[in-house]
Amino acid sequence: MKTRHILFAAIATVGIIIDQITKIAVDRSMQLFDSIPIIEHFFHFTYVRNKGAAFSFLSDASWRLPFFITVSIFAAVVILIAFRKLRDDQKLAHTSLAMIFSGAIGNLIDRVRLGEVIDFLDVHWYRHHWPAFNVADSLICVGVFLLAIDMVLEEKRVKAEALKQ
- What is the per-residue burial (b if ≥16 Cβ within 10 Å, else e) of 117-150? bbbbbbeeeeeeeeebbbbbbbbbeebeebbeeb
Q: How far is it, in rounded angstroms, from Cα 164 to Cα 26?
A: 55
pLDDT digits 0-9 by tens, 128-143? 989 999 999 999 999 9
Give catalytic status of residue 27 as yes or no: no
Give the pLDDT confidence score for residue 121 in this predicted structure: 97
Among residues 67, 101, 57, 58, the alpha carbon closest in space to that of 83 is found at 101
pLDDT digits 0-9 by tens, 71-121? 999 999 999 999 999 999 999 999 999 999 999 999 999 999 999 999 999
Residue 59 has pLDDT above 90, yes or no: no
Task: Work out how many domains the chain is built from and give that number.
Answer: 1
Give the pLDDT confidence score for residue 18 in this predicted structure: 98
Which residue segment(s) compose the domain that 23 sits in?
3-164
Among residues 83, 84, 57, the alpha carbon closest in space to that of 71 is found at 57
Contact yes or no for 103/140 (Cβ under 8 A):
yes
For the chain, the average pLDDT equals: 93
Give catalytic status of residue 89 as yes or no: no
What phi, psi does 147 have (nearest 5°)? Answer: -65, -40
Among residues 36, 49, 44, 53, the alpha carbon closest in space to that of 104 is found at 53
Give the pLDDT confidence score for residue 104 in this predicted structure: 97
Among residues 103, 100, 99, the alpha carbon closest in space to that of 117 is found at 103
Task: Report in angstroms the alpha-carbon separations of 163 from 27, 87, 158, 160.
Answer: 56, 21, 9, 5
Confidence grade of residue 56 (pLDDT, cut at 50, 70, 90): low
Catalytic residue among 19, 110, 119, 122: 119
Catalytic residue among 19, 122, 137, 150: 137
Task: Report in angstroms the alpha-carbon separations of 33 from 30, 112, 132, 146, 160.
Answer: 8, 22, 11, 32, 53
pTM of the model: 0.91
